[in-house]
């Protein structure tokens, strides 16, 4: 945990997190044309982060990332409220668990 930009840039998860914050801000502003990119980002996030955890045989964070990425992806597919809320709950829970695993281990 540092404020030094040179050390922060060396961590790929920090770069992806900063990208996610920017995407989240744009989605909060109602830029729905970003949905295809969000779907790509969900697949890329699961593929990259999932591969990292799978190669290290760490299964709990892998399942959390899978749930979070699936929730993010499904939020962009559904149009009625009940499936969107369910997918959002899955995504927030999965990414929350992933953050918890990353901070405690």
Residue 33: the pLDDT is 92
Q: Which value, in Å, is the radius of gyration of the alpha carbons in the chain? A: 14
Verdict on whether the full-model pTM lies above 0.95: no
Dihedral sign, Cα of residue 26, residue 32, residue 36, residue 40: positive
Among 18, 22, 71, smallest CA distance to 42 is for: 71
Domains of the chain: which residue ranges? 34-104
pLDDT along the chain (105 residues), means of 10: 70 75 85 90 86 90 91 89 92 89 83
Q: What is the pLDDT of residue 86?
A: 94
Q: Is 31 left (phi over 0), alpha (psi -120 to 50) or beta?
A: beta
Nearest to 70 by CA among 97, 100, 52, 94: 94
């Amino acid at each position: 945990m540092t404020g030094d930009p040179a050390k922060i840039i060396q961590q790929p998860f920090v770069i992806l997190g900063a990208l996610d914050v920017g995407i989240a801000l744009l989605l909060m502003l109602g830029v729905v044309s970003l949905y295809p990119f969000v779907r790509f980002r969900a697949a890329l996030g699961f593929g990259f982060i999932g591969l990292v955890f799978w190669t290290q045989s760490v299964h709990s964070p892998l399942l959390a990332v899978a749930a979070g990425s699936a929730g993010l992806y499904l939020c962009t597919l559904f149009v009625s409220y009940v499936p969107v809320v369910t997918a959002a709950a899955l995504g927030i829970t999965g990414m929350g668990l992933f953050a918890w695993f990353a901070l405690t281990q």
